[in-house]
Structure 1
Amino acid sequence: MQEGSLEAPTRHPIAWQDDEFYDPDLLDAELRRVFDICHGCRRCFNLCDSFPQLFDLIDDSETEMVEDLPSESFKPVVDACTLCDMCFMVKCPYVPPHDFDLDFPHLMLRARAIEHKKGETKFADRELAKTDRNGKLATKVSGLANWATKESNGLTRSAMEKTLGIDKRAHLPRYDSKQFSKTPAKAMPAVNLEAPNFGRKAAIYATCYANFNDSTPGRAALDVLSHNGVSCRIDHPHCCGMPLLENGDLAGVAKSAEAVAAHFGPLIDRGYDIVALTPSCALMLKFEWPLILPDNPTVQKLAEHTRDLAQYVVELAKDKGLVEVPEMASRIGLHFACHSRAQNIGAKAMEMLKLIPGATPTIVERCSGHGGKWGIMADNYDTAVKLARPTVRNLKKGNPDYVVSECPLAGPHLREVMKASGGEDVPERVGHPIELVAKAYGF
């Protein structure tokens, strides 16, 4: 069988509404088929922890044959997958249209969907996935919430580890006191009427993180886009459902998709571009939702009109050009987040940073180890740190003045690993690359 294909990789719609999708015997057969192919290839040995788990499982077995493994031994492999899509996007030579037809992340998703339908999703995973509810409550009592979740609070963090399984050493996002989507009109930056892109309109999808936890990238985006003539508004109709996807709750994801698409559909008709602040959310809108609801035209329309933030800025620069960016001589270490890579649009953050005269960005294409809520759990935290260490080493090689990542969870996690390694040159913040563009403009 030929390895690889001359055709572009494709993905099948997820058949989550078919009864066969939830048949445990059919799942078991497909897991064995795919695991056997992965065992013979092993190209993904250095990605997430799923593959080392799988290969150790096979190598330590009596016959070293996938067909002889007990079905219950597959669960750690499924649980270790962070749905980062890197095996599908950059490593696997057997993805469709190859005859082997491998989609490892979506197979792990199917296994979780079956667990979820059986009611086996853990309590902590279910509650952490309710990001809108949690955010709305926590922003009202942000002082108390941030006190309770601070790593130095041994009392509450120890209790959280015992009851929810969240590692007491893991960094947890702080909460803002106000929702970003409720920014009053008088606080919005003025649009530059003389900018080359004056006349364009963008609806900024705040996403849960920017809306409830840290609006810094959102404020920087508003400043940069407004300065370049783009009239902006901020919207957060609903969570994109990525935490639900991690749980295998595909019906929940579909509801999120329908709600968000219904909100943005009329704005698209009025000429708005949809710009997502977080790569994971952009990935959901552009790629995952159309596979979950392939027959929903509003979802398809939203996918076609959604842009990742860095992608949008580069698009503006290539269309009519940007207002001249002042020089800012600086060395920048850029972490190329997995969900940015999985969008298959190239390193747009790298292109964006190169728009700053005097800036010398260096890109690092390695996993941060965080993986949504996966990396904060006590069962995974040490592995998350282990996965982050080579990324940190590569980011620090050029002695950067700034370190940035498009992923708002990866950035603080990488900073915590830097701090734990004992170095003195720990950056004050590992924020979004748009913040450096805003800084160059003087905002």
Structure 2
Amino acid sequence: MSETCTISEGSLKAPTRHPVDWRNPDFYDEGKLDAELRRVFDLCHGCRRCFNLCDSFPRLFDMIDATESGELHDVGSDRFKPVVDACTLCDLCFMTKCPYVPPHDFDLDFPHLMLRYRAIEHRKGRTPLAIRELTKTDRNGKLAALAAPVANWASDTGNMLTRPALEAVAGVHRDAHLPRFHSKTFALRAESDGLTPNRKAPAFGRKAVLYATCFVNYNNPSIGTAARAVLAHNGVETEVVYPACCGMPQLEQGDLAAVSDRAAKVAGELAGWIDRGYDVIALVPSCALMLKFEWPLIVPKDAPHRTSVEKLAAHAFDISQYVVDIARNAGLAPGLKPLPGGVTLHLACHARAQNMGPKAAEMLRLIPGVDGKAPDVKVVERCSGHGGSWGIMTENYEVALKIGKPVATQALKQSKAFVASECPLAGAHIAQGMERLGKDAPQPPAEFETLHPIEIFARAYGLAG
């Protein structure tokens, strides 16, 4: 019988996390890893609170239930890999469900245990070549920008010439939405947009660096353009800085040395801006999570760039969080107008994992409602199922849609003019789920759009779209 039946449930203290000790040889000891996997899996088996978060837990529980004893000791360790493979590192089990996270005596951190397994796999050269190449976001973004129309033609889901070939060669499901590329990146656009802060706005005097992130820089510059316009309207002086990707794609692979190297490069450059009085705003929640939480746990205490990483973590904001901070502490510039049709807002997992509250919902509720009513914002707090590069792969795509089905179902049922997600990849994935359901369910309004919350906020100001 599991330990969870004999020890009181949960902890009254705030969750905390241990540093990821990836330079310690014991971290890569497969015998010690297996012992920890068995300890944690047995606790999860006895609790099962996370059964509906992702596919890791159903795979684990079904595997145990299929044994004659119904206990973990009858499951061979060689069957653990599918459980690990299904983890998207969304962190929701750690942040929202698990009662046994540290400082509880059980000391359970499921996502970082999966990360340790992947780090061992990566060290042994078992990360698939296709994944390693697909997630080189800076290289791919720069190359695709040179021929963006061709790259977008080739990646379109309707292209029956290239998408089956991509599926065969790289394992990317032919129906999975892939981000579009732009020949002019967000960083290049910002150099010539001529935006200046509104000197009469309440927040005049604030200064912020927009860390563009690889996705906004190469794939969706409109998110950055909207953020920059909203901040300028509110008096904030902004600069766009993009030294490199945050390394989240490499974190998903367990390549912790690469993540530490990215932290050194990005934090090293951004720390100088902080010293000059600038805040740092990440435009995508996964990247904000890396800056605030993952880098301080991964970068060793004795690393030369440790000070810069700690400084950045203390001065980093998510874009929605920053706008709400302006509203609370300075007041917003006037000009917000109602947006008819309402918004279904998906709270991205990596925004929830930042433990800052539903800032995107708070931000959108600052927009006036129609005819003096409260803003029509319906919040969905479920995982979209996309999971970064995980959800586009052939072996995961249908599972990803299944995980995201509750979100898509709610979005269809609410039938708002906008479906918003702080994670642009999640937003597109939800839209695909809605299309899949649409065969047997009501379709959203004709004017339905999937946007980042800051794009909707900019529209309410009359600053974009």
Indicate whether the TM-score tops 0.5. yes
Shift of 1:184: 5.0
Report what 2:377 is aligned to.
Answer: 361
Provide the alpha-carbon RMSD of the alignment.
Answer: 1.1
SS in 1 for 2:404: helix
Q: Partner of 2:279: helix, strand, or coil?
A: strand
Offset at residue 428 of structure 1 (A): 4.5
Structure 2 runs not aligned, ≥5 long: 1-6, 370-374
Select which of 306, 316, 334 maps to 2:326: 316
**8 Å Cα contact 1:325-1:356 kept in structure 2:** no
Which residue of structure 1 lines up, in the alignment, with residue 457 of structure 2?
Answer: 437
> Any idea what SS the aligned residue of 1:170 has?
coil
Q: Using the alignment, how far apart are the partners of 1:180 and 1:436 within structure 2?
A: 18
Structure 2 counterpart of 1:17: 23
Check conservation: 1:294, 1:300, Cα contact below 8 A.
Answer: no
The more displaced of 338-347 and 60-69 is: 60-69
2:111 to 92, 95, 105: 105
Are 1:339 and 2:330 matched, yes or no?
Answer: no
CA contact (8 A) 1:196 1:323 kept: yes
Look up the SS of the partner of 1:430 in the other structure. Answer: strand
Contact 1:333 1:396 in 2 (8 A): no
Q: Which residue of 2 aligns with 1:175?
A: 181
| Alignment deviations for residues 248-290 of structure 1 (CA, whole Å, 9 cap, x no partner) | 0000000000100001011000001100000000000000000
Rounded to whole Å, the distance in 2 between the matches of 1:176 and 1:235 is 18
Matches within 5 A, 1:64-75: 64-75=70-81
- Cα distance, 1:326 vs structure 2: 2.7
Give the letter aligned to residue 441 of structure 1: Y
Say which of 307, 312, 326 aligns to 1:297.
Answer: 307
Letter in 1 for 2:10: G
Deviation per CA, 1:55-108, whole angstroms, max 9, x where unpaired? 011011233221221111000000000000000000000000000000000000
Contact 1:199 1:229 in 2 (8 A): yes
**d(CA) in 2 for partners of 1:188 and 1:114?**
48
Number of aligned residues: 443
**1:41 maps to which residue?**
47
Q: Give the counterpart of 2:395 among 363, 370, 379.
A: 379
Could you say what secondary structure the match of 2:130 adopts? helix
Give the match for residue 96 of structure 1: 102
- Secondary structure of the equivalent of 1:323? coil
What SS does the aligned partner of 1:135 have? helix
The CA deviation at 1:335 is: 0.3
Which residue of 417, 420, 423 corresponds with 1:401?
Answer: 417
| Partner-residue secondary structure (3-state), 2:138 | helix
Does the 8 A contact of 2:384 with 2:430 survive in 1?
Answer: yes
Q: Residue deviations 1:312-356, cap 9 Å, x none? A: 000011111011243314321100110010000000001101110
Structure 1 counterpart of 2:406, from 390, 393, 408: 390
Counterpart Cα distance in 2 of 1:237 and 1:4: 41
The aligned amino acid for 1:406 is E
Please report how far the alpha carbon of residue 435 of structure 1 lies from its aligned counterpart in structure 2 after TM superposition. 1.0
Q: Deviations over 1:99-122 (max 9, x none)?
A: 000000000000000000000000
Q: Which amino acid aligns with 2:236?
A: V
Q: Which residue number corresponds to residue 85 of structure 1?
A: 91
1:180-208 deviation line (CA, Å, top 9, x unaligned): 11225331322111111111111000000
User: 2: distance between equivalents of 1:184 and 1:8?
Assistant: 40
| Structure 1 CA distance for aligned equivalents of residues 194 and 261 of structure 2 | 31
* Residue matched to 1:425: 444
Counterpart-to-counterpart distance in 2, 1:162 and 1:404: 32
User: Could you list the runs of 5+ residues in structure 1 that have no partner in the other structure?
Assistant: none
Provide closer, same or farther for how the CA distance between residues 297 and 54 of structure 1 changes in structure 2, counting only shifts above 3 A. Answer: same
What letter matches 1:318 in structure 2?
Answer: R
SS at match of 1:404: strand
Q: Name which of 274, 280, 283 aligns with 1:268.
A: 274
Q: Contact (CA 8 Å) 2:190, 2:240: kept in 1 or not?
A: no
Write out per-residue CA displacement over residues 128-159 of structure 1, whole angstroms, 9 at most, x where no aligned residue: 22111111101111111111110011111101
| Equivalent in 226, 251, 255 of residue 257 of structure 2 | 251
Contact 1:325 1:355 (C-alpha < 8 Å) held by counterparts: no
Aligned to 2:210: 204
Q: Give me the TM-score of the superposition, normalised by structure 2.
A: 0.94
Moved more, 336-345 or 181-190: 181-190
Task: Please state whether the residue corresponding to 1:187 is helix, strand or coil.
Answer: coil
Question: How does 1:214-225 map onto structure 2 within 5 Å?
Answer: 214-225=220-231
Distance in structure 2 (CA, Å) of the matches to 1:291 and 1:325: 41
When the two structures are superposed, what TM-score results if normalisation uses the length of structure 1? 0.98
Deviation at 1:294, TM superposition (A): 4.8
CA shift digits 1:190-248 (9 cap, x unpaired)? 21111111111110000000000011111110110000000111111010000000000
- Retained in 1: the 8 A contact 2:416–2:444? no
Aligned counterparts of 2:158 and 2:94: Cα–Cα separation in 1: 39
For residues 419 and 437 of structure 2, what CA distance do their matches in structure 1 show? Answer: 16
Alignment partners' CA distance in 2, 1:329 and 1:405: 17
Question: 3-state SS of the aligned residue for 2:162?
Answer: helix
Q: Are 1:144 and 2:183 an aligned pair? A: no
Equivalents in 1 of 2:53, 2:451: separation in Å?
Answer: 24
Distance (whole Å) between structure 2 residues aligned to residue 263 and residue 429 of structure 1: 36
Q: 2:4 corresponds to which residue?
A: none
